[in-house]
Amino acid sequence: MGKFTYKDIYIEDGKKVLEVNVLPEKYCNFDCIFCPIGRSPKKVDTQMTFDGFQESMQYLENMIERTKPELIFINSKGEAFVHDRIAEIIGFIKSKDLPVKLLSNGYLLGDATYREIANMCDEVIGEIKVITEEDFQKVQRPIEGYTLEEYISNMVSFNKQYTGKFIFEITIVKGYNDDEASVQKLKEVTKSLSPSKVIVVRMEDEPFKKKLGISDERYAEITQALLSE
């Protein structure tokens, strides 16, 4: 069965999607207080070797043959770039004539090696969750030395040269970016990024929803503000 894990196949935008996680446990360069996967025991932004690669690739091939997806979504437990064979995984999927969508928090898109890997993908998702430097450090707890300014500029510089579809996912977090000034700043960041698509989400799952979730009404207002020109 290998070490990758899969979600049940689903349809999105009319396409059959196979979603795969390539990491055996959480490896991320951030340690967000609201991470749905839990704490980051050790923050990483360099590549690592994981066991069972050949077996995992064989199983991926079987999954593709069995489920006949139209898109593979690499959505991992943390940051997929830290898998030292990620380029090979993407290359293998592409060799099956299948498009690849990759989820990253977006910080590493400023690094030349990871940028080349992301360039192999048809779609890349980058994210933003808070809008001040202080909140970035406090709430997303990145590797020491990371800054929000660099985070945004990494995504901007990536998308300037990327020819695929860059999807920008904005998470609205109550008390952090749901006020008017923050929404305005998020709008400016979105403009500087000029993504192909913007997705606005909010804290939907407990235990975070209760404290950090916003109302349906506010969510609708913010979404409209962020998606309007």
Q: Identify whether 207 is preceded by a cis peptide bond (ω within 30 of 0).
A: yes
Tell me: does residue 225 bind ligand SF4 (CB under 6 A). Answer: no
CB of 70 to ligand SF4, least distance (A): 26
Tell which one of 9, 35, 64, 199 touches ligand SF4 (CB under 6 A): 35
Angle at CA of residue 101, ends 98 and 103, nearest 5°: 155
Q: Which residue, 69 or 213, has its beta carbon nearer to ligand SF4?
A: 213
* Residue among 4, 30, 73, 158 that touches ligand SF4 (CB under 6 A): 30
State how far the Cα of 213 lies from the Cα of 14, in Å rounded to an integer. 29
Check residue 37 for interaction with ligand SF4 (CB under 6 A): yes
Distances (CA, A) of 161 to 38, 109, 146, 164: 33, 11, 22, 9
Neighbours of 149 (CB within 10 A): 10
Residues binding ligand SF4: number (CB under 6 A): 9
- Region near ligand SF4 per CB under 6 A, out of 30-38, 144-152, 174-182, 209-217: 30-38
Q: Which of residues 75-134 bind ligand SF4 (CB under 6 A)?
A: 78, 105
Q: How many residues does the chain have?
A: 229
- Torsion (CA) 213, 215, 219, 220 in degrees, nearest 10: 160
Q: State yes or no: residue 139 binds ligand SF4 (CB under 6 A).
A: no
Which residue reads 């690739």 in tokens?
57
Asked if residue 28 binds ligand SF4 (CB under 6 A), the reply is yes
Q: Residue 171 interacts with ligand SF4 (CB under 6 A)?
A: no
**Binding footprint of ligand SF4 on the chain (CB under 6 A):** 28, 30-32, 35, 37, 40, 78, 105
